Structures are given as structure tokens and as C-alpha cells.
Amino acid sequence: MYLVRETVLLFGLNLLDALLTLIWVRNGVAEEGNRLMAELLNISDVAFLSGKLAMGLFTAIVLLKWGYYRIAKVGVAIALVLYVGLMGIHLLTGLNAAGIVSNGIVSGTFAAFKPLIAVLFG
């Protein structure tokens, strides 16, 4: 099997993202930016977690089945880089919520990455 460690790491980051998002949203610290996930959050926590983990599980199955293809290797590498960046955002959110980091620092950090985000997702 190819990409086993990478796939397990990606799924673990997906789970951590789901749990942290749930904590931030339910405590009024942040909002869910993805419309589909926001709608699932409006339904229930279980619906949100089920949807998020179902997508992660589907991705894991695809990567484990076809991980020997070059595009899978490149794709999982890109996904891991993006998820590590997302974990940085979660860290800043948590530090801001705890009052350790000011809103100005968080806003400045996000503003610095806005052009990159626009290129990647614009």
C-alpha cells in the first residue's frame, strides 16, 4: 500500500480540524467559512462531524486505493501543506480566544496571506 502514513496523518488533521472548528463555532470564537459545513453545523454537531469525517474517509479510501499514482502523491502533499497551514490558523484562533494574542496580530497575519489565498482559491 502506498501513502499509508500520509493518509493517516491527513485523516487525523481532518478530525482535529473538525473538533477545533466545532469548539470555536459553538463558543462564538469563529464562524465556519465553508457554506456546506456551516449548514451541517446549523443542523447539529453530529451532522457536521459525520459530514466532515465522511469526506475524510472517502479521501483516505481513494488515496489508499490509488496512492501509487503520481497525482495522488502530489495531491496528498499539497493537502498536508494546506492542513498544516490550517492548524496554524486554529492555533492563532485559540491564542486569540485565550487573550494571549491580540486581534491586530491575527488580522495582520491573515492580511499577509490574503494574496496567497486568493491565488490558491480565487
For 11-31, write each residue's pLDDT tens digit. Answer: 999 999 999 999 999 999 989
Show the domain range for 50.
Answer: 4-121
112 φ/ψ sector (left φ>0, alpha ψ -120 to 50, else beta): alpha
List phi, psi (to 5°) of 28.
75, 20
- Does residue 97 contact residue 29 with C-beta atoms inside 8 Å? yes
Given pLDDT bands bounded at 50, 70 and 90, which one contains residue 111? confident
> What are 44-80's pLDDT values in tens digits?
999 999 999 999 999 999 999 999 999 999 999 999 9
Three-state SS at 94:
helix
What is the Cα–Cα distance from 20 to 18, expressed in whole angstroms? 6
In angstroms, rounded to a whole number, what is the distance separating the alpha carbons of residues 18 and 1? 27
Count of structural domains, the chain: 1
